[in-house]
C-alpha cells in the first residue's frame, strides 16, 4: 500500500513538472510573438509618415514620350519650425535643387493683460510661428525629396501632388516655332515688295521684320519655360508649430493720486511736529535777547526794593 502511494505521488510530481515546463514554454513563445508584433507595429508607424508623402505622381516613369510638369504642396506641424525650415532648405540643396523663397512669419493670435499687483501687470502674448518655403528640385528626385521632408512631420495637415501632361504643349510650341520660321520667309518677301513699292505697304520693312522676330522669340521662350518646368519640379512647403505663450511684466499706469483721510491726518500731525520744532529752534536762537530781558527784569526789581527801603 505504501509503495503504491509513493508511485502515485511520484507520478503526480512528474506530471506537475511537465505541466509547468509546458506552461513556461507557452509563455516564452507568447512573449516572443508579442515582441515581434511590437517591432512590426513600430516599423509600420515609422513608415507611415514617408508613405503619406509618396505618390505615383511623384515618380518619374520610364516612358520618355510623355512630358509631365510635377508640383507638390505640403502643410504640416513640426516640433521646431526654425530647425525644420533649415532642414528642408538643406534637403533641396542636397537633392540638386534650390530654394526660390523662404519666409518666416510670427503670427500673433491674441494679447491679454492681467493686473498682478498695485503697480505691475503681466502681458501674455499667444503667437504661432509659421514658415513658407518654395523649392525647385529635379523631377527625378521629387519622391526622394518628399520622403526626406516627411521626417520633420509631427502632424500632417495636407499633401497635394500633381503631374500635368504637357506633351501636346511641347508640340504646340514646336509648331508655332516652325510657323514663325515660315512667316519670317514670307516677311522677307513682303519687305522686298515694300521696298520696290513703298505705297503698297501699311507697315515699314523694319516693323514687319521685328514683328516676326518677336513671335519667334516668344515661341522659343515658351518652349524653354515649359522644358524647365518639366525638368525641375516645384514644391510648396508650409510649416507651423503649436501655439506659444510669452509672458512679460510691465509697470502699470497709475491714476492721479488722492490720499485718504487717515493719510491726511498723519501728514497734518507731522506738519504740527515740524512747526513745533521750528518754533523751539527759533526760541533757542533768541537766547541772548531772553537772557538780557531776564537780567533787566531782575535789576529793575532789585532797584525797586532799594527804593522802597530808603
Distance, in Å, from the CA atom of 79 to the CA atom of 75, rounded to the nearest integer, reads 14
**Cell numbers 532797584: residue:** 303
What's the rounded mean pLDDT across residues 278-295? 83
Please state at what angle helix 142-149 crosses helix 2-53, rounded to 10 degrees.
120
Quick: pLDDT tens for 56-96: 555 655 556 778 888 999 999 999 999 999 999 999 999 99
Distance, in Å, from the CA atom of 98 to the CA atom of 138, rounded to the nearest integer, reads 9
**Other CB atoms closer than 10 Å to residue 223's CB: what's the count?**
17
**For the chain, percent of residues with pLDDT exceeding 70:** 65
Higher pLDDT, 216 or 164: 164
pLDDT at 60: 57
Tell me if 189 sits within 8 A of 197, measured CB to CB: no
Decide if pLDDT at 139 tops 50. yes
> Rounded to a whole number, what is the distance in angstroms from the first to the last CA of the chain?
163
Q: Which helix (H) or strand (E) segment is 99 a member of?
A: strand 98-115
The stretches of the chain forming alpha helices (DSSP H) are 2-53, 81-94, 142-149, 167-196, 205-231, 261-285, 287-309
| DSSP string for 182-235 | HHHHHHHHHHHHHHH-GGG-SS-HHHHHHHHHHHHHHHHHHHHHHHHHHHEEEE
Decide if pLDDT at 30 tops 70. no
pLDDT band at 134 (very low <50, low <70, confident <90, very high): very high
Instruction: Locate the domains of the chain by residue range.
Output: 169-226
Q: Select from 38, 32, 19, 135 the least CA-distant residue to 88.
A: 135
pLDDT band at 171 (very low <50, low <70, confident <90, very high): confident
Largest pairwise CA distance in the chain: 166
Tell me if 160 sits within 8 A of 233, measured CB to CB: no
Q: Select from 160, 167, 4 the least CA-distant residue to 71.
A: 160
Q: What is the SS3 assignment for 260? A: coil
Decide if pLDDT at 131 tops 90. yes
Amino acid at each position: 500500500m505504501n509503495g503504491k502511494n509513493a508511485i502515485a505521488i511520484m507520478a503526480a510530481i512528474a506530471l506537475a513538472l511537465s505541466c509547468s515546463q509546458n506552461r513556461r514554454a507557452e509563455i516564452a513563445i507568447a512573449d516572443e510573438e508579442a515582441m515581434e508584433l511590437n517591432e512590426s507595429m513600430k516599423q509600420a508607424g515609422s513608415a507611415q509618415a514617408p508613405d503619406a508623402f509618396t505618390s505615383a505622381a511623384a515618380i518619374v516613369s520610364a516612358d520618355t514620350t510623355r512630358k509631365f510638369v510635377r508640383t507638390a504642396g505640403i502643410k504640416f506641424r513640426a516640433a521646431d519650425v526654425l530647425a525644420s525650415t533649415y532642414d528642408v532648405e538643406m534637403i533641396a540643396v542636397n537633392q540638386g535643387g534650390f530654394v526660390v523663397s523662404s519666409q518666416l512669419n510670427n503670427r500673433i493670435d491674441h494679447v491679454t493683460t492681467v493686473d498682478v499687483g498695485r503697480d505691475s501687470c503681466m502681458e501674455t502674448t499667444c503667437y504661432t510661428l509659421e514658415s513658407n518655403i518654395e523649392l525647385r528640385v529635379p523631377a527625378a528626385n521629387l519622391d526622394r525629396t518628399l520622403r526626406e521632408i516627411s521626417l520633420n512631420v509631427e502632424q500632417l495637415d495636407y499633401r497635394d501632388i500633381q503631374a500635368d501632361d504637357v506633351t501636346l504643349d511641347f508640340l504646340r510650341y514646336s509648331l508655332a516655332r516652325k510657323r514663325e520660321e515660315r512667316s519670317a520667309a514670307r516677311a522677307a518677301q513682303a519687305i522686298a515688295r515694300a521696298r520696290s513699292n513703298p505705297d503698297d505697304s501699311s507697315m515699314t520693312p523694319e516693323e514687319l521684320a521685328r514683328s516676326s522676330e518677336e513671335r519667334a522669340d516668344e515661341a522659343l521662350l515658351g518652349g524653354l519655360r515649359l522644358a524647365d518646368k518639366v525638368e525641375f519640379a516645384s514644391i510648396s512647403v508650409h510649416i507651423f508649430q503649436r501655439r506659444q505663450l510669452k509672458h512679460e511684466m510691465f509697470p502699470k499706469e497709475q491714476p492721479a493720486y488722492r490720499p485718504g483721510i487717515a493719510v491726511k491726518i498723519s501728514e497734518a500731525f507731522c506738519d504740527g511736529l515740524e512747526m513745533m520744532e521750528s518754533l523751539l529752534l527759533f526760541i533757542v536762537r533768541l537766547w541772548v535777547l531772553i537772557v538780557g530781558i531776564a537780567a533787566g527784569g531782575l535789576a529793575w526789581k532789585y532797584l525797586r526794593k532799594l527804593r522802597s527801603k530808603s
